[in-house]
């Protein structure tokens, strides 16, 4: 019986994985220059973590979360997003007692049971960063500058940063009242999900992806008109810092983000090369989340990049794995004795940083074809005749030149 990959998920295979590795390495390099450290959280968490943070009425929790019970009946879930697990780990480890500010980044798979689409499978990968412990507009700006820096280094040209402010617990109630007033008499025109959510969290309607609902919500009141002075000042300072950092942006008052924990700054990086689902990265501020998950009242801001969507937009040419400074060598070995005689030299070359491949049998012709496919610079040929003379043939593939070298001098010659 042939077993295939689960619907909505996919394998990432060579040579595509080489491009992924190179992008991840570049991200690690950029994160470290901004003082961020890597965190790795479990793929499985208590389901309640996401119900509390993302929101029980969100599409993620209601429809998309892979939720199940373990053998003892504990409700668990495959993580649908990365921020809540990072904050849970931050609180559990007591990071706030060690340093007033924590800068953390992560790589990994997320899971949502949704219709597979361009750049998004049911298992999808994210690169994310979280700055926890500061409510300063400078923290928002630094996270956005980092994101812009990373995309510039990756060569992502077709992009646009869009920002908004969602207000806070002080000014949000007045905005919610205005949204409810707007919906009165109109709610029956919206989809069933929007109707159901309108009582508990009417802001969900503004995040609905159905075209009919999106058209109707364009007439809704804007949050900008309801910001308290503190939120308005915070937003002004974020914009000023972005301009000072030469970061281009567009204000989009319709951005609300689909997760309950967002407040004040919210943003998306848009690329029209992706079609309708055009956000390659998104994030914002979540000042109440640490407290909601049992920690002190700490602010936070962060983002997540959809890796599949990013890879669709990148020119793959530059993104190949660096094989290091060593020479690319292929050992064409004819027979068991040749394999035994060459193994020590192969390992020594590798320990010196050389990229070395070898044949596992077959004719010399077939092994040379493989060496050519691997773009080897040199091929070491060892067969029965070479063993008798305690020699090896080194062939330079580009020129076709060959020379005989004592087996004992192979490493010296190639390294």
Closest CA to 112 of 308, 292, 293: 308
Domains of the chain: 16-171+227-313 (3.30.930.10), 328-414 (3.40.50.800)
Q: Render 94-106 in DSSP notation, one character per residue.
A: THHHH-S-EEEEE
Count CB-CB contacts under 10 A for residue 52: 19
SS3 of the chain: the string is CCCCCCCCCCCCCCCHHHHHHHHHHHHHHHHHHCCCEECCCCCEEEHHHHHHHHHCCCHHHHHHCCEEECCCCCEEEECCCCHHHHHHHHHHCCHHHHCCCEEEEEEEEEECCCCCECCECCEEEEEEEEEECCCCHHHHHHHHHHHHHHHHHHCCCCCEEEEEECCCCCCHHHHHHHHHHHHCCCHHHCCHHHHHHCCCCCHHHHCCCCHHHHHHHCCCCCHHHHCCHHHHHHHHHHHHHHHHCCCCCEECCCCCCCCCCCEEEEEEEECHHHCCCCEEEEEEECCCHHHHCCCCCCCEEEEEEEHHHHHHHCCCCCCCCCCCCCCEEEEEECCHHHHHHHHHHHHHHHHCCCEEEECCCCCHHHHHHHHHHCCCCEEEEECHHHHHHCEEEEEECCCCCEEEEEHHHHHHHHC
Q: What is the rounded CA–CA span in Å between residue 183 and residue 84?
A: 31
Does residue 148 have a pLDDT over 90? yes
Q: Can you give the pLDDT at residue 108?
A: 94
Does residue 219 have a pLDDT over 80? no
Contact 256, 203 (CB under 8 A): yes
What average pLDDT does the structure give for the chain?
A: 87
- pLDDT tens for each residue of 277-332: 688 999 999 998 999 999 999 999 999 999 999 998 887 556 555 555 666 899 99
- pLDDT tens for each residue of 55-112: 655 556 666 888 889 999 999 999 999 999 999 999 999 999 988 899 999 999 999 9
- pLDDT tens for each residue of 352-379: 888 999 988 899 999 999 999 888 999 9
Count CB-CB contacts under 10 A for residue 43: 15
């Amino acid at each position: 019986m042939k077993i295939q990959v689960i619907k909505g998920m996919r394998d990432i295979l060579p040579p595509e994985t080489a491009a992924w590795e190179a992008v991840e390495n570049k991200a690690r390099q950029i994160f470290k220059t901004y003082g961020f450290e890597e965190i790795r959280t479990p793929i499985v968490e208590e389901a309640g973590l996401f119900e509390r943070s993302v929101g029980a009425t969100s599409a993620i929790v209601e429809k998309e979360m892979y939720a199940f019970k373990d053998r003892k009946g504990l409700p668990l879930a495959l993580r649908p997003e990365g921020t809540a697990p990072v904050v849970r780990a931050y609180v559990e480890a007591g990071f706030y007692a060690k340093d007033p500010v924590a800068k953390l980044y992560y790589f990994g798979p997320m899971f949502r049971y949704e219709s597979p689409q361009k750049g998004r499978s049911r298992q999808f990968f994210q690169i994310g960063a979280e700055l926890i412990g500061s409510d300063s507009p400078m923290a928002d700006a630094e996270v956005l500058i980092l994101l812009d820096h990373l995309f510039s280094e990756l060569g992502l040209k077709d992009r646009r940063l869009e920002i908004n402010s969602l207000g806070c617990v002080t000014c949000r109630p007045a905005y919610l009242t205005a949204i409810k007033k707007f919906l009165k008499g109109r709610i029956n025109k919206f989809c069933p999900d929007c109707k159901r959510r309108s009582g508990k969290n009417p802001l969900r309607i503004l995040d609905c992806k159905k075209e009919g609902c999106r058209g109707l919500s364009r007439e809704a009141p804007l949050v900008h008109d309801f910001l308290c002075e503190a939120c308005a000042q915070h937003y002004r300072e974020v914009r000023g810092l972005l301009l000072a950092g030469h970061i281009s942006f567009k204000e989009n008052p319709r951005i609300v983000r689909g997760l309950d924990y967002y407040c004040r700054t919210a943003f998306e990086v848009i690329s029209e090369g992706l079609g309708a689902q055009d956000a390659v990265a998104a994030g914002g501020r979540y000042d109440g989340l640490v407290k909601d998950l049992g920690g002190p009242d700490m602010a936070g801001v962060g983002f997540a990049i959809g890796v599949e969507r990013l890879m669709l937009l990148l020119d793959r040419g530059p993104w190949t794995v660096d094989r290091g400074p060593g020479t690319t060598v292929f050992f064409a070995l004819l027979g068991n004795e040749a394999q035994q005689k060459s193994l020590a030299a192969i390992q020594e070359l590798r320990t010196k940083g050389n990229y070395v491949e070898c044949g596992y049998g077959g004719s010399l012709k077939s092994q040379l074809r493989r060496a050519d496919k691997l773009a080897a610079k040199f091929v070491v040929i060892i067969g029965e005749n070479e063993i008798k003379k305690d020699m090896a043939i080194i062939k330079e593939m580009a020129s076709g030149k060959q020379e005989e070298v004592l087996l004992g001098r192979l490493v010296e010659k190639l390294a």
